[in-house]
Chain A
Amino acid sequence: MASSTVSSGTRRVRRQLPTSPWLFAAPGLLVAGAFILYPFVSTLVNSFTDRRTLVPGEFVGLANFRELLHDDMFWIGLRNSTLYVLGVVPALVLLPLLLAMLVQKTIPGITFFRSAFYTPVVASIVVVGLIWVWLLDERGLVNAVLETIGVGRIGFLSDQWLILLSAMAVTVWKGLGYYMIIYLAALANVPRELHEAAAVDGAGALRRFFTVTVPAVRSTMVLVAALASVAAFKVFSEVYLMAGPDGGPAGEDTTLVMLVQRTGTGLTGRVGYASAISVVVFVVTLVLMLLVLRADRKEES
Chain B
Amino acid sequence: MSVMDKVRATPEQPAPAPARKPRITDEHGRRVRVWELALRYLLLLGVLALTIGPFVWQLSTSLKGPTEDIFSSPPRFLPSDPTLHNYERVAETIPVWDYALNSLKVAVANVVTNCVGAALAGYALARLRYRGRRVATLVFILTMLVPVEGIIIAQFTTMRELGLNNTLIGVLLPGCVSALNVLLMRNAFLNLPYEIEEAAYVDGANVWQRFLRIALPAVKGTLAVVAIFAFMGAWDDFLWPLIVLSDPSNFTLTIGLNYLHGTFANDERLVAAGTIIAVAPLIILFACLQRYFFRGVGEGAVKG
Contacts and interface: CB of A to CB of B under 8 A. Distances in A.
A255 to B, nearest CB: 10
B41 to A, nearest CB: 8
Contact of B271 (A9, A125, A130, A260): A130
A6 interface: yes
B14 A119 contact: no
Given A28-B140, A35-B158, A107-B32, A117 B54 contact: no
Contacts of B40: 102, 105, 107
A31 interface: yes
Q: How large is the interface on A (under 10, 10 to 19, 20 to 34, 35 or more residues)?
A: 35 or more
Interface string A13-46: 1001010111011011101111111111011001
A25 B268 contact: no
Nearest to A180: B297
Interface in B8-41: 10, 13-14, 17, 21, 24, 26-28, 32, 37, 40-41
Contacts of B297: 178, 181-182
A20 B208 CA distance: 10
Contacts, number: 298
Contact of B174 (A36, A144, A230): A36
B163 interface: no
A22 B50 CA distance: 50
A261 B254 CA distance: 17
B124 interface: yes
B74 interface: yes
A103 interface: yes
Contacts of A225: none
Nearest to A43: B154
B173 interface: yes
Interface string A100-139: 0011011111011111111111111111001111110101
Contacts of A105: 26-27, 32, 40
Query: What is the interface of chain A mostly: helix, strand, loop, or mixed?
Result: helix
A25 B27 contact: no
Contact of B206 (A9, A27, A119, A141): A9
A43 to B, nearest CB: 4
B204 to A, nearest CB: 5
Contacts of A130: 257, 261, 271, 274-275
B130 A115 contact: no
Contacts of A279: 150
A160 interface: no
30 contacts: A5-B207, A13-B201, A20-B207, A21-B124, A25-B125, A27-B113, A28-B177, A35-B158, A36-B146, A37-B143, A38-B158, A40-B150, A105-B32, A106-B26, A107-B41, A109-B13, A115-B290, A117-B47, A119-B51, A122-B282, A124-B253, A124-B282, A127-B257, A127-B278, A143-B73, A144-B74, A192-B28, A260-B149, A264-B153, A285-B147
Given A27-B120, A42-B157, 12 more contacts: A28-B179, A53-B157, A119-B286, A124-B254, A127-B275, A127-B278, A132-B54, A134-B61, A173-B51, A245-B262, A261-B152, A269-B153
Pairs A-B, 7 closest by C-beta atoms: A9-B206, A28-B121, A39-B154, A264-B153, A24-B124, A124-B236, A21-B128
Interface of A: 2, 5-6, 9-10, 13, 16, 18, 20-22, 24-25, 27-29, 31-40, 42-43, 46, 53, 99, 102-103, 105-109, 111-127, 130-135, 137, 139-141, 143-145, 147-148, 173, 176-178, 181-182, 185, 192, 223, 227, 230, 234, 236-237, 241, 245, 257, 260-261, 264-265, 269, 271, 274-275, 278-279, 281-282, 285
